[in-house]
Amino acid sequence: MSHVIGLAGGITIGARAPPTPRALVSSPRAAARLAASDVPIPIGLSGSRGVGVKCLRVRDVARPTRLRPRKVVSAIATNGASGGSEGPTPSSPEPALASPGAKKKRPFIPALDSTRFFLISYIAVGHFIACCTKDAFTLRLLSQVNVVVGAFFVLSGYVVAYTCTELGKYEASPRVSPAPAFVASRVMGYYPLYIAAQAAFAWVFMYADNLYNGPLATAWHALITCTLTQAWFPAHAELWNAPTWFLSALTFATVALPFALPSVARWRARGLRVAMGVLTATSLMMKLAYSYDCGAWFFMEGTMGAKTHPNWMFWNQTRFSPFAALVDVLIGCVACRMVTVRECDPAEDPDRESERKRGPGVLLGGEPGTAAASPAIPLLGMLLVIAARAFGWLPLNDALTRSAFFVPLFTAFVMRVHAQTAYADVPAEERGDANYTSFSKALGAKPLTYLGAISFPIYILHGPIGQIFYKRAVASKLFNGTVFTKYPEFFPVYLGIVLVAAALTHEGFMKNKKIQTWFQEKGQAIAKAF
């Protein structure tokens, strides 16, 4: 590092929903609070889209308020649970009060699908860029995968909070309970393809592992890999399908979320602001401890080998830590609620207006309805951080760069994309920026969202396919002594093979309803034992 990725794709069984009944609201303020419900986007790199239906367009009320909910709403079933209710529509000069029990819908956010594609593309290139070039600047520019991976954890938490907390209410969705069923549903969203890839490429992993470590170690590594526990063993986390340590750490966070989400959902604006500060400080403290104890303040770990690092094991404990992953996931959860609390009744949070003008709410989300809230601003910041490290202008190590710069900037980016999508119909004359929505619309283009849909297979497959061509023990065995590091021009071919394989896997495996349903049923059967 569909709902998941986020690093994860899933399946969407598209069927157009029937026309949404029209709900009436009592006031422009009430209309402004009505915005969207479940969204078929990745939780970072992982998860499953579940069975979803396409978006519907519902005509909004007149434009009496500065921020008005987006017209596009979605009734999406996530992990088998559907969201939704009516969006506001005009009916009479004096609209009546909406039904108190009506649920609000969540808008589909296609820009997040394409976002995960760009993230995983960078990581897929970064993992093998050293196999096709020795240029120091290129390596520094494209090898910062330890920095970028934090974005997937944030995205995972963001989407979970988006789909599993109630819009317009200070409460979690009923789907987070019971906890075993919730965890099983999420994990079985990404486990089918994960275990299928482990089985398909087992001959690659086992051959190399046995060659270097012997049969007993190989059997142990097979066990921790198949049980998604490899992140708890830092020296062994990357021995098989290396990038999938992410799913191991994400699984731990998933286990914790049913207990954390109800609390996060209850927090008002002030509590969310404090929580964001505490979580960010906690993340930084972990990285400061590593940097101080190892004297590793100014290393670019992505370009270093184990023998050149002052303490490779301590570094592995830092970057693979399931607890550090949980902190980033919770940052995503809190960030999502900082946007969605706009839909809650202001009377339930008297401090919300004052809190909106201070602290992380302004820095991360920007002033709603203004050009300053554009996602392009934090995106530019992320690109500048990557470039500054490549040029040597920002010599901080990967860990500190991730927590101090990249994760906050990415969090701001996701919040702004979300707000821009949910409030896309704010008149240009009111926001002072005619191109306010153009950025998120561009990211939501259908070709890009399809690439986002296949990003989870890319993430799962690029590692083992790369081992076939670039791992010396494997490639020399398969290709009569040839290792493709000798042929830099082959690298685009490798990337093309990964892309085609991912597309075929998405169409033939991820969209296979029988396979996905079978794993979900097995997961729920296991959950019942708890």
- Whether 198 is covered by a domain: the verdict is yes
Q: Which tokens go with 378?
A: 């934090």
- Whether 1 is covered by a domain: the verdict is no
Question: Is 50 exceeded by the pLDDT of residue 11?
Answer: no
- Whether 379 is covered by a domain: the verdict is yes
For 185-239, how does the pLDDT look when each residue is reduced to its tens digit (9 = 90+)?
Answer: 899 989 999 999 999 999 989 988 888 889 999 999 999 999 999 999 988 888 8
- The residue range of the domain holding 359 is 6-528
Region of poorest pLDDT, from 67-71, 98-102, 233-237, 239-243: 67-71
Q: What is the dihedral sign for C-alpha 205, 508, 504, 39?
A: negative
For 398-423, how does the pLDDT look when each residue is reduced to its tens digit (9 = 90+)?
Answer: 999 999 999 999 999 998 888 877 76
Radius of gyration of the chain (CA): 23
Region of poorest pLDDT, from 16-30, 50-64, 306-320: 50-64
- How large is the average pLDDT for residues 244-259? 93
Strand pairing report for 81-82 and 72-73: unpaired
- Whether 338 is covered by a domain: the verdict is yes
CB 72 within 8 A of CB 107: yes
- Whether 484 is covered by a domain: the verdict is yes
Closest of 70, 339, 47 to residue 194, by C-alpha: 47
Structural domain tally of the chain?
A: 1
CA 524 to the chain's CA centroid? 24
- How large is the average pLDDT for residues 54-77? 34
- Whether 228 is covered by a domain: the verdict is yes
For 142-184, how does the pLDDT look when each residue is reduced to its tens digit (9 = 90+)?
Answer: 989 999 999 999 999 999 999 888 887 888 888 888 988 899 8
- Whether 134 is covered by a domain: the verdict is yes
DSSP letter at 24 equals -
- Whether 65 is covered by a domain: the verdict is yes
For 263-304, how does the pLDDT look when each residue is reduced to its tens digit (9 = 90+)?
Answer: 998 888 888 889 999 999 999 999 999 889 888 888 888 787
Residues 6+ apart with CB under 8 A from 32: 65, 67, 68, 69
Q: What is the pTM of this model?
A: 0.77
End-to-end CA distance of the chain: 29
pLDDT computed for residue 270 by the predictor: 85
Provide the Cα torsion 376, 381, 382, 386; round to 10°: 140
Q: Which tokens go with 521?
A: 């049923």
Q: Please classify residue 282 by burial: count the beta carbons closer than 10 Å to its beta carbon, then call 0-12 exposed, 13-18 middle and 19+ buried.
A: middle
